[in-house]
Each structure stands twice: as structure tokens, then as C-alpha cells.
Amino acid sequence: MNAWRSERGAAAVEFALIVPILIALLLGIIEFGRAYNVQISLTHAARETARTMAVGNVWADAVSRGTTAAPAVDLEATNFAAAPATCAPGQQISVTVSHELETLTGIAGGLTLTGEAAMRCGG
């Protein structure tokens, strides 16, 4: 009877030691998945903006198309940058979209993610 009594709280102690590790792992997976989703959205927004600039060469229209291409991310015109500013036929335009991602847990602080795309002008 004494052998059973000595191991009575062992399962509770093991559970208390393992649960924080499992919760940290779960939160890490959630944060990584969310950051990966935002990264893909930023790359898609940059690609759509570069394509619109290559075809139409109107920056306001290109930024509008870029923001609608990534509805899950709160983008503004200040998040977009292009080099060169105008698109001449035969040139290549590079678009960069940056966004500061606030993490859910707050451990990593704000992560700045960027999406980049380049296309030849005059499409």
C-alpha cells in the first residue's frame, strides 16, 4: 500500500512540467503560421502592384490593386515603394511592400516583413 501512496502525485507533477512546453510550442506554431501567411500576402501584393505598373504605369492604380490583392493585411500607400518611380518600356520595375506585424503573444515584438516583385515595363 505504501508503494502506491508514494507515486500518487507523480502524474500531476509531470503534467505541470510538460504543459508550459506544449503551450509554448503551440503558440510558436501559431505565430509562425500567421507570419508566413502575411509574408505570402505581401509578396502577392508586390507582384500585383508591379504588374499593374508594368502595364498601366499609374502608381495610384497600382497601389490600389496591391492593397486589394492582400485583404488580410492592413496596407496603406506608405507601405509600397517602387524603383524606378515611373515605368518606361523595356525597363524593369521593382516593387517592395513592407508591413510591421504585431505578434499575438508580444514576445518577439513587431516583426517587419517585406514582399518584393520585379517586372519588365511595357507589358
Q: Which of 74, 89, 13 is CA-nearest to residue 41?
A: 74
Q: How many CB atoms lie within 10 A of CB 12?
A: 9
d(CA 24, CA 91) in angstroms, rounded, equals: 48
d(CA 73, CA 121) in angstroms, rounded, equals: 27
Classified as helix, coil or strand, 38 is: helix
Classified as helix, coil or strand, 73 is: coil
How does pLDDT run along the chain (123 residues), one tens digit per residue?
Answer: 555 566 778 888 999 999 999 999 999 999 999 999 999 999 999 999 999 999 988 999 999 999 999 998 999 989 999 999 888 888 999 999 999 988 888 776 778 999 999 999 986
pLDDT of res. 85: 87
pLDDT of res. 87: 87
**Sequence spans of domains, the chain:** 2-120
Predicted TM-score of the model (pTM): 0.82
Cell numbers at residue 67, please? 492593397
Say which residues have a Cβ less than 8 Å from residue 33's Cβ, sequence separation at least 6: none
pLDDT of res. 5: 63
pLDDT of res. 72: 87
pLDDT of res. 40: 96
